[in-house]
Amino acid sequence: MTDEEKIKWFNKAVKFQIEDLIFMTMKSRKNGVASWAIEDINTHKVLNSNMEWEEEPPLAKRDEAFLIRARFDFDTAIVMYEQYKMFAQ
């Protein structure tokens, strides 16, 4: 597989393992902009902007406040997790 082909596959990836059972997952893509969540697959919780793990409500019950707290652009999601790791230790 060429590097260009690999890049195409990585560009389509929607879930990346960060550490153990914690993943960064693309939850939606609107107008070419992806929305990411940091998920603990073991506890079924997402990391929010307050650096707290919270339950992810069913799709029908997710309000705007939840989306603001728990959805990030790619770069922000990476920074959020790095900050979480610093404070969690």
Kindly give the confidence (pLDDT) of every residue in the chain, 89 residues in length, as a single tens digit, with 9 standing for 90 and above: 787 877 677 666 788 888 899 999 999 888 878 899 999 999 999 999 999 999 999 989 999 999 999 999 999 999 999 999 888 76
What is the three-class DSSP state of 13? coil
> What's residue 63's pLDDT?
95
Residue 87: other Cβ atoms inside 10 A: 7
Q: What predicted TM-score, i.e. pTM, was given to this entire model?
A: 0.80
Question: Is 2 within a domain?
Answer: no
Q: Which domain holds residue 68?
A: 12-88
Question: Is 1 within a domain?
Answer: no
Tokens matching residue 17: 């393992």
Question: Is 61 within a domain?
Answer: yes
Please return the burial class of 61, using the count of CB atoms within 10 Å of its CB with bins 0-12, 13-18 and 19+.
Answer: exposed
> What's residue 87's pLDDT?
83
> What's residue 11's pLDDT?
66
Question: Is 47 within a domain?
Answer: yes
Question: Is 82 within a domain?
Answer: yes
**Total structural domains within the chain:** 1
Question: What are the distances in angstroms from CA 74 to CA 25, 57, 58?
Answer: 9, 21, 23
Question: Is 45 within a domain?
Answer: yes
Question: Is 3 within a domain?
Answer: no
